[in-house]
Structure 1
């Protein structure tokens, strides 16, 4: 063999050996992953995986919107969706955008799990993002009726900030601008002027038929009446001490018939027994855990007290001893709060009622676009959501449908 051919042959062998070595070197950085033991993924590790992947939870009636942050070098993405029948993640959609609406939802309020990855080609793709779940609301509520207008007549309102229902479904509207509480039947027919008090505020009904009425600018801020409207006891004057209130907003009862009252001006919550004895108080103005800035709404659910910390845009959760437990943030100002025994309902001013579970995951937005300034609501005996629009001077009744 000529000397030059020997050299060429040697170079080919060396080059092949070098390339083989490089191939092996590349293979050492290839990572194999299994998600739920169902998908084998070869990750080239040279493309970033998507971050900030989110799926909407109950925001929309018939779709789940997926979104994530655009990634450098990404040409397109793959969305994978978990299949409950096969217990596997299946390839669901390839797209170049970073948002996608999944309208292929078979059942409302059911969790649907997704992941997304950068996918430029069959040989260039990233790890999967963290998984997230979403669900549709199904739009379970519709506005069945409404009543009210501006004025001082029997079906008119001046400044309605609080609302309540009794076990028969009758509706009580506190019109504090006119110093009165008006009573209506479940269909909105006027029945009577139920209570008169300076700056009439929230009311609540006890299981024995007695009721609590609150007011401001008076010698007693809290009053308890029997079913015949006879005053049984009263307490509370203006001030900052243990026996004082700066301003009463909402109130609630726990399973022991203790009375929890929100003082929005003094930025605190007070707990009383049925005889008006102060059991505990907590809160101060601030933004730390357990602090408040103009609290308004309060409700009791499953041994916990939920308080809307309005200007801090959050809901704070406490145990029955007043110990701070947790916070979940919300968008907008949350005023009144109620529960149907399972879910929370939050009056999000100005625009809609947010229905959530105990952890704050949104299940539905009720009445979006129908309010001027929503401040309070009540839950009727058949699950109706009865809302109070302070500037619209209107009471709206939403029913499941």
Structure 2
């Protein structure tokens, strides 16, 4: 009995050490961690005028312009890289060209894809702001949405949509026709290929699909054929949230850098986390929220590696670049 008690105490100690290691590393040890990024530009304030923002929830960049989802104002605002206001389009509403709380933005083939949280659809615009197409509508059936949060677009125009309240990711053709889905409609889950309020999706050059599993507090990855590859975020990526390296507390946006690294907006931790494509933690950076609410809501990455974020609490746009040694 004494030997068993000693064995039990040693086992408990070993488990605590393992959990501490997982807490520190997020479950993926990587000795080649990077320096944090530096904030090099910042603009914006709360309001409804040109250049002002009210709850920015999405961001997408070209080599000359920055597109921002100005959610509460029901519009998209476009800025130059130095912060100068250039134009806006959309007004609050549910008609063509109108927007109901635009979320994470995606630019593909000179078109802007805008998921609308309130209108349960994806609206496609030209980069000049002309409404081109509306995909989907409210519901839980194939090709329907309940508060879509983000969309990835393949080279052939196929869509991969994070369908928030339906707890699934849908694969659709460019015309909106249904192909398949991951996750069980209307049901949360912690297993591989299950979701808890997914918020965004991104496609790597090799076809790997990365999903920000929002309140699942993790990232899930699927290969080009749709098979599950891996998941990460907290111990065993089981939905446990926390502030440690590699852990997530509501993943609200995801983007892929030019070297295939994964950038995730870790909303309630006020930071962006950078991972390898295999899920190893590289670095974290962000702006602590100054008042009510959280800061880093959305993220996109330029071809040169510059990172852009939408600061939700501060109603601003931020530009980040790798720190110099």
Deviations 1:59-93 (A, max 9, x none): 489xxxxxxxxxxxxxxxxxxxxxxxxxxxxxxxx
Q: State the partner residue of 1:156.
A: 98
Structure showing greater radius of gyration is 1
Which of 206, 211, 219 is equivalent to 1:256? Answer: 206
Once the 2 structures are TM-superposed, how far is the Cα of residue 360 of structure 1 from its aligned partner?
Answer: 9.5
Q: How does 1:351-366 map to 2 (within 5 A)?
A: 351-359=315-323
Which of 160, 176, 181 is equivalent to 1:234? Answer: 181
Q: State the partner residue of 1:127.
A: none
Q: State the partner residue of 1:336.
A: 298
Deviations 1:181-231 (A, max 9, x none): 11222221222212332222211111233221231333x711222334332
Once the 2 structures are TM-superposed, how far is the Cα of residue 140 of structure 1 from its aligned partner?
Answer: 2.6
**TM score, norm. by length of structure 1:** 0.52
Distance 1:211 1:358, change over 3 A: farther
Q: Distance in 1 between matches of 2:161 and 2:40?
A: 35
Q: How does 1:1-12 map to 2 (within 5 A)?
A: none
Deviations 1:119-146 (A, max 9, x none): xxxxxxxxxxxxxxxxxxx973422110
Residue aligned with 2:118, SS: helix
Deviations 1:225-251 (A, max 9, x none): 233433222221232222311111122
**Which ranges of 4 or more aligned residues in structure 1 deviate by more than 6 Å?**
none
Runs of 5+ unmatched residues, structure 1 = 1-55, 62-137, 362-401
Residue aligned with 1:244, SS: coil
Which of 272, 281, 286 is equivalent to 2:242? Answer: 286
Runs of 5+ unmatched residues, structure 2 = 1-37, 44-79, 138-144, 235-240, 290-294
Q: State the partner residue of 1:309.
A: 266
Distance 1:147 1:360, change over 3 A: farther
How much is the aligned-residue C-alpha RMSD, in angstroms? 2.5
Once the 2 structures are TM-superposed, how far is the Cα of residue 158 of structure 1 from its aligned partner?
Answer: 2.3
The structure with the greater share of residues assigned to strand is 1
Query: How many pairs align?
Result: 228
Residue aligned with 1:151, SS: coil
Higher relative contact order (CA 8 A, sep 6+): 2
